[in-house]
Each structure stands twice: as structure tokens, then as C-alpha cells.
A and B are shown apart, each in its own frame.
Chain A
Amino acid sequence: MDTKMLNKAKPYILLLPALILAFLFAYRPFLRTIVNSLFNLSIIGKRLSFVGLDNYKRLFSSGSFQDSLSNTLRFTLYFVPTNLIICLVAALLANRKGKLASLNQICMFLPMAVAMSSAMMLFKMMFNPSIGIMNSILLVDIQWFNDPKAAMLLLVIAGVWLDIGFDFLLLVSALRNVPASLLEVAELEGANPWQLFTTLQLPLIAPTLLFVLVTSIKDAMLISAPVLLLTQGGPFRSTQTLVYQMYLEGFKSGNYALGSAIATVVFGLTFIVMLLLLRFEKRRVYYQ
């Protein structure tokens, strides 16, 4: 064997596993999804006939899909700012020194230790309208799983709780990296906490904030498992999201053609968001 040849081939050989995985579980399924969305597919996923954009036409005219699209966008709209503000407030409040502060911080990131499916089972039981703890502790009588608005609110609460641990950690460590001397000087000059935040802390944690923002947009647009576990898209389809509908079409109805068309729409949406993320990532590298 020619060692020179071997040396030349080495990087390719070493990259082979990653390339195979990328082909098998990313590009091939991606292309197949797009192509399949242009076909009429049998129940076992065989291509029956080319139908052009027919699947999309049917998709966009169906009430179920319109619901999914609007629910996904509404969820993103409610969830992203709520999550950002709550995590930021939590980080600002907990960014202190001392035993109590440390305890506060532990409490804030503990939700990270609870897996998503466990957390959703917990929420499902706690928010049960008749015997759950939440209604009786808040002294309200909210039909969490029957009132479309309440169900959406519940999904937002659940989403924030699932994300708060990690986002809080990111933000609190970003805040800690803001030099204390800088803050002290500003304080001596008579700046109030709001001024400190807007003129000093905010610009310095902006990259982290942007990271949290964009990842939470992406997560929000892809939300499916919490829907499956908590509300199953109900009531009245008010929490049926895009990826959840894709799951329904593909795995409950065996309608791969429609499922592929939904997946393609999801690709389009996430593509836009991820491009934004990559741009921010690039800027951040310069920033630091």
C-alpha cells in the first residue's frame, strides 16, 4: 500500500462517519421529503403519481393546517418574549453575592434536572382543573385543558419552565462577566439601577441575549412533544402546531404526502431562523 496515497486519503477516511451520518439522517431524508411532497404517496410511502403542488394547495386550503400555522406563530409570539423577560428578570434578581443568592440561583436552574416528559406529566396533573393543585392554590377556576386561551397559556407556562434552567444559567453567567469595577464607578456617579442595566449590563450581555432569543424562536416553531403530552392539540385544535400536525398526518393517518408537505413548510421557516442564528454567531465571535 502506498503510504503517500494513504496519507492523502486519511482526512476523508476520518470524516467518513460524519459524512455518512449527514447523508443518511439529514440530506437524504431532506431531499426525499421535498420530492415526496410533490407526489401522491400510498399508505406505505410508495410514490403513486406526480401531483406537482397539489399537496400544498390542499394543505393551505385545509382548516386544520391553517390552525396549525396560526397556532405555531401565536405560540412563538407569546412564548419568546415571555421566556426572555422572565429569564432575564430571574438572572438580574439572582445576580448577587451571598448564601441566599446562591440558593436562589440553584432554585432557578433546577428545572433543568427534570426531563421534559416528566415535567409535562407533572404539569398535566398539577393543572387538572377539578382536582389539580394549581387551581386551588391560585384560587381560580380555569379550565386549563378546555378553554383554548387557557390551553395556549398553559403551553407557554410549560415552555418557559422547560427552558428557564438553561437560559437562566446563560444569562446569569453573562451578567457575572460584566466587570464589577465598571458598575461601581457608575454607581458612584449616581446612576440608578435602570441606567446601570440599560447602559452597562444590556450591551455587554447582548450577544447572550440574542443567542437565547434566536434559539427560543427556533424551539418555539418546532414545538411538538409538549403538545403531544399536555394537550394533544386540543381543545378545538387550539394547540395543534405544525410539527405536531406533521406527526399526526405521518404516524396517525399514514398520510405521508401531506406530512411531507408540512415538513417542507417547517424547513422553510426554520431555515430563515437558523440563518439569523448563524449570523448572530458570526457577529459574536467578532464581539468577544
Chain B
Amino acid sequence: MKKILIAICLLAATFSFPLFAQAKSELPAEPIATITWWHYGSGLAGKATEAMVNDFNNTVGKEKNIHVQAVFQGSASDVLTKTKAIFQSGSNVGLPDLVQLDGSGVLDIRDSEYLISMEKLAKQDNFDLKAILDSARLSVTYKKEMIAMPFNSSTIMLYYNKSAFDEVGLKNPPKNLDELATASSLLKKTDDKGKVVRYGFANVPTTYELIVWLGQQKAMSYLTDMENGHTGIPTKVLFQENGTMVNFLTKWKQLNATGSLENLTSDVNGAFASGKVAMMVGSTSNLTTIIQMVGDRFELGVANFPMVDEQATGGVNVGGGALYALDNGSGKSKQTWEFVKFATSAEQQLAWHIATGYFPVSEGTYSMDAFKTHLQNNPLYGVAIKQLEESNPELQGVWIPSAYQVYYAFQTGILKMLVEDKSPEETSKALEKEINSYLQDYLRMNQ
């Protein structure tokens, strides 16, 4: 009996403590306009997001009676799922005023009547779009209009274990896939039982890598028609007919033949930071986290994303996410714009860059002394920025339906080629067929 009483007391305690805590976390009294912002910033980016919102609410927001309420909605794909669910209901009830989305969601909302073009908002305020970095601006341009505001922009780059490079006598990071294969096989280490203790390189290419590895070939190529979906709904993939996929897969198979490539699909950062893999490719926005994870285990190096071959000169595209203004019937687009303008100002983008590793999208940041000093003190951050400056700004991410399935199609198809020793031609054709079927599905749905 006593035990039951104790148990009941315990349960009662659980019931009551949220009530206390709730009282504390109650939101402040509402100022005139509350802007809801759904974002996916977690970890370092989450803290930086919070800091930025607080900064806004205490300065510009206070002045202009705007309060931004940031709601963390999970990963980028979670935010998209939530937003899309409302779009699919055919009504705008419940939409946030502002939403942060990555490239995988653009196709689903860009034609919606509830999307407020960022360019329009900027023009109403006589804001010069030249203040935004060209390549970043183009990454969210649809039918010649900047539909969103680039915000957390990043590119892909090569991370390498400098200590391991020194150990095997490698001086420079590899520039292309041939060099990568050579370096990788040198870096591979086995113990006396023949077990691999360090792989040279770890990756399974998916959409993220292929946009670049296919796109940088022949000066610049697209994965799909409609300029990677930036001028309309893509109807077919191009990588089979223009040969970029076969060219890439041939190199990839050679790399795999060295036996130093590990087909890692997740926890690549962990494997790299613990020294089990000597090279990886990843977003520039991971830099701060990876520096933390590596600690003083080894010396970290970063370099340009390796090219497929010497002819692949297109460079890299701007990835990451952007801010989309939505019409939820509250008519607060002006106030939303105020926040967007604030978030992408030179000063805020500098703070954002330092905190997260995303590169500044504001042209103004690049001429700030504080920014130059920061790069001098942290040279690793400069690599990504230089790489982007050398890239063709026309090379853009792909806006494709069923982004999730396409991602797995690449991953599975390429692994199949390696494991079942299929030819690059066969693999490229199979991928064309599968991804085209997703594109067809989408076209059918949008008749």
C-alpha cells in the first residue's frame, strides 16, 4: 500500500512540474506584429539563429513593433514536410510568415499563390539585390525572379587529415578524382591481420555531390532539363545523353578499385574525426563542428572539392537553404521583410558566418575589416570562399520532385555498380530510367 502511495505521489509530481515550468516559459505579451519563422537550425546554427532573433527583437523589432518568433521544426526535411502538408491542403491557414527551406522543397512551393516573391518585397523597399552575392542570389532564382532570400548558404569542399598526409608523404590535397584515387590508396592503412584501420576516402555520391561532379563537366552541365528545374518542371534527366554520368562513374569505379574507398552513408563526420577515414567531402557549414570534433587528434586541412578531371572546370554550386516569405492571410509581409533584411545584413551575416561556418550572403560582409581579420585568423574558412569565387555562378542546385527518392536512387544505384561490378553505362541508364519515372509521376500529378 505504501508503495502505491509513493508511486502516486511520484506521478503527481510529474504532472505538476510541467505546470510550474510552463508558467516560466510563457511567451511575452504580444507586441503589434508577431512573425512566425519556421527554421531548421540545430546545434551551433540553432544557437546562432536564436541569437539573431533576439538581437532583432531587441533592436529593429522593438523600434518597429515587430516580434519574430522562431520555431525549430526539426531537420530541413521535417520543415518541408510540415510546410508542404499545409500547401497540399489547398489553404494557407497555419502557414508561418517565413520559412527556411533547402533546395529539396523549392519545386513544391515555388508556383504557389501563397509564396510571396522576395524580389517583390525587396523592390517595395527599394532594396538593391546587388547587395546579395551573385551565386547565392542565382541559387534561388526561378524564371528570372529571386523567389527567396539566400540565408544559410554553403558549398561542398574536401576535408582531409593533414597529419595522415604528412605521415605518408603527401604534400598537397588532390585536385581531381585521379589524384584522389592515388592519394586515397596511399592513405589506406591496414593492421597486421589485414583489417583496414584507415580508409583513404569515404563517400557514396548522392544528389548533393552529383550536382557538382556532373555539373562541373563540359564547362557546366545540368542534371535535368529546364536548367536543373530552375526554369520549369524538369521532364527528364540529361546526364545519360550528355555522358557526364558515365564519365564520372568510370572515374568512381577506378577510385573504388584501389580498395581504399569506404562506402559510408552516415556518420562520415564521426569516422573522419576519429581518424578512421583520411578524406571526406562535406558542406562548408560543417567546418566549425568538425573542428570541434577533431579537437587535437590531428591537424585538419580543407581544400577545393576535387574535380572529376582536368576538363571539369565549372566549380561548385551554392547549396544550403533560403528564407521564403509566405502569405498566411495576416498581411505582415512588410514586417517579414524587415527581419529578412536584418538577417542578411552585412553585420548579421558576419556574426552568422563566424558562429556557423555558412558563408556570408551579403556582399557588404566581404569588405568589412572584421571579416578580413577573421579569415586571417581562421584560414580554413577562406578556402571555401575562394573556391566559390572561382566557380561559375550559373552552376545551380537541382530542383527536382521526389528529392528523397532521387537521393536514394543515386546512392543505391552507385553502390550496386560497385558491388555487382556493373558497367558505368548500364548504371547510368538504370539511373536515368528510375529518376525519369519520378519526374513522370510528378508531371502526371500536375496535369
Contact = CB atoms under 8 A, between A and B. Distances in A.
Note whether A and B form a binding pair: yes
Interface in B366-403: 401-403
Given A145-B267, A235-B411, A43 B108 contact: yes
Interface in B233-249: none
A25 to B, nearest CB: 18
A235 B446 contact: no
Interface stretch (A165-173, A210-218, A253-261, A274-282): A253-261
B263 A128 contact: no
B83 to A, nearest CB: 11
A145 B262 CA distance: 13
A233 interface: yes
A251 B438 CA distance: 15
Interface residues on B, range: 35 or more
Given A43-B445, A44-B89, A235-B265, A253 B405 contact: yes
B115 to A, nearest CB: 15
A70 interface: no
A232 to B, nearest CB: 9
A40 B404 contact: no
A4 interface: no
A45 B88 CA distance: 8
B291 interface: no
Contacts of A240: 408
B274 interface: yes
Contacts of B412: 63, 67, 236-237
Interface string A112-153: 000000000000000011110000000001010110000000
A58 B441 CA distance: 10
A255 B402 CA distance: 8
B446 A251 contact: no
Contacts of A145: 265-267
B270 A128 contact: yes
Given A43-B446, A236-B411, A146 B263 contact: yes
Nearest to B407: A234
Nearest to A54: B444
A48 interface: yes
Interface string A67-89: 10000000000000000000000
Contact of B445 (A62, A234, A251, A254): A254
A254 B195 CA distance: 45
Interface in A211-262: 233-237, 240, 248, 251-255, 257-258
B7 interface: no
Contact of B441 (A48, A129, A255): A255
A130 B276 contact: yes
A41 interface: yes
Given A40-B445, A129-B267, A234-B411, A253 B402 contact: yes
A131 B405 contact: no
B177 interface: no
A256 B392 CA distance: 38
A42 B88 CA distance: 9
B257 interface: no
Interface in B163-206: 195, 204
Contact of A146 (B80, B84, B266, B437): B266
Interface of B: 77, 80-81, 84-85, 87-90, 108, 195, 204, 263-267, 270-271, 273-274, 276, 401-405, 408-409, 411-412, 415-416, 434, 437-438, 441-442, 444-447
8 contacts: A41-B445, A42-B445, A42-B446, A128-B267, A129-B267, A141-B195, A236-B412, A252-B77
Interface of A: 40-45, 48-49, 58, 62-64, 67, 128-131, 141, 143, 145-146, 233-237, 240, 248, 251-255, 257-258
